Structure 1
Amino acid sequence: INMKQKLYGLKLEEGGDIVSHISKFRSLMAQLDGINEKVKPNDAKAILLNSMPKSMSNMVFTLSKLNPRLESIIATLLDTESKDDEEEEAALASQS
C-alpha cells in the first residue's frame, strides 16, 4: 500500500526535473509490478498526467484528450523537457 500511496501522491514541482520525475514514476510502477500489484494502463496515464505541475495544464489536457499510450505520453514529456533545455541554453548564449 505504501508504494501505491507514493505513486498516487507523486507530484512534479514547478520547474522540477521531468527526467528524474519520470524515472521515479517508472521505478514505482516496476516495484508495484514486482509485487504483483499491477496498475491499469489508463490509471497509470492518469496518475502521470495528474502529477504534472499547473504550468503544464494545457499539454496535460491535450494529451488526455488524445488518449495516447503511456510511452507516447512519456516521450512527449521528455521532448518538452529537451526543448525547454535548448531554449534556456540559447537564451544564455545570446546574453554572452
Structure 2
Amino acid sequence: MSHNPAASVRGPAHRVQVGKTPVLDSEDARRLLDSIDTGTLVSLRDRALISLMIYSFAPIGAALGMKVEDVYTQSRRLWVRLREKSDKGHEMPCHHHLGGGFFTSFN
C-alpha cells in the first residue's frame, strides 16, 4: 500500500478533566454510612472502609492494603498510614468522625 487508507479518519477528541472527581457532601455521606447495617462483622468492615475513603480521600487500593498496625495513636490522636500503588506511604490524623468509631477497637 502506498498510503494509509485510515489516515483521513479522525477519532473522537480525548478530554481529561483534572480535579473533577465528585465528592459526597456531608449529608450524602451520613446517609450512606447510616444505611449500612452494623449487625455483622462484614457490614462493620464495609462501613469502616467506606468511612476511611470518605474522610481521608483514600483510594480503595490503599484502604484495602491497610494492616492493623497502620492505625495507631500518637499524642492522644488516632492516625492512619496509607500506602499507594508505588508503595509511597501517607500518614495522616484521623478525622474526628472516623476516629471515634470502628478503628478505636483495635488500639
| Fold shared per TM-score above 0.5 | no
TM-score between the two structures when normalised by the length of structure 2? 0.30
Structure showing the higher strand proportion among its residues: 2
TM-score between the two structures when normalised by the length of structure 1? 0.32
- Higher RCO (C-alpha 8 Å, min separation 6): 1
Larger radius of gyration: 2
Structure showing the higher helix proportion among its residues: 1
